[in-house]
Amino acid sequence: MPNVHPTEELLNDYAAGSLSEGVSLAIATHIAMCPQCQAHVQQLEAIGGAMVMSAVETPVGDHVLENVLAQMSHLESKPTSQPVLPGDLRNQDIILPNPLRDYLGAKTLRELDYLNWTTLPGYSEYVASDRSDKTKVRLLRVAAGMTLPQHTHEGLELTLILKGSFSDHNGTCGVGDLSVADPATDHAPSVDRTGECICLAVTDAPLRLTGRFGRMLNPFLDL
Ligand SMILES: [Zn+2]
């Protein structure tokens, strides 16, 4: 069970369908791995549906809220389907969560090897979204013990761990955890020494590198 979850606001926006494709992909992938968020989003979607029904069936008035609450009381709070977990980390044939599988056209962690990675020492990146798009969807593959350049964000950065673990402003994040960084966050995630880390990283605005080394890299990086 993941320990680090999307904010309430992101889950609300996801249920309302108002997120960009990339951010929505990160939330959907987390939900596929997290029974807690899956149950919560099912409730939000049911409430949204109930409000639409009430608006259609009842003239808008004092009874709308009562109707919604009455319908909510019938909701099941448990997820109806078993979430897909990436499974045993010793097995590289781990099945990827459904939303990611469809987006990448790769079924397992092993199949990610066939993607067109850009590789630097200790760090590989695959850009899954169109580079002209404001929202970037990337896969990162970072070697054990590596620290990513310190950076801030003009928008949101969502990082979902598919394999391994890293530590950042949220503490230690493991498989299924979704770490959200906003413009106020200046952080440098470091991968734990126990093994490489593969994660999905979605940014809805360019990163700005802030550390001494990062500032030197800034003009060269197309993040
Ligand atoms: Zn969750």
For the ranges 76-90, 154-168, 203-217, which has the lowest average pLDDT?
A: 76-90
The CATH architecture annotation of domain 98-220 reads Sandwich (2.60)
Ligand 1 (single-atom ion) residues, CB below 5 Å: 5, 34, 36-37
**Residue 31 alpha carbon to ligand 1 centre in Å:** 6
Going from N- to C-terminal start, the domains of the chain cover 8-72, 98-220
Which pLDDT value is given to residue 96?
92
Which is it for strands 123-127 and 171-173: parallel, antiparallel or unpaired? Answer: unpaired
**Residue 178 alpha carbon to ligand 1 centre in Å:** 8
Whole-prediction pTM:
0.73
CATH of 8-72, one of 3.40.50.2300, 3.40.50.300, 1.20.1600.10, 1.10.10.1320: 1.10.10.1320
**Residue 1 alpha carbon to ligand 1 centre in Å:** 8
pLDDT tens digits, residue range 35-85?
999 999 999 888 877 777 776 665 555 666 666 566 555 554 444 444 444
Phi-psi domain of 200 (left: phi exceeds 0; alpha: psi -120 through 50; beta: other): beta
**Residue 213 alpha carbon to ligand 1 centre in Å:** 34
pLDDT tens digits, residue range 182-208?
877 777 789 999 999 999 999 887 666
Q: What is the distance between the alpha carbons of residues 87 and 162, in angstroms, rounded to a whole number?
A: 10
**Residue 2 alpha carbon to ligand 1 centre in Å:** 6
pLDDT tens digits, residue range 12-36?
999 988 888 899 999 999 999 999 9
**Residue 221 alpha carbon to ligand 1 centre in Å:** 31
pLDDT at 150 over 80: no
Q: Look at the block and give the residue holding tokens 């310190």.
A: 150
Common-topology check for domains 8-72 and 98-220 = no
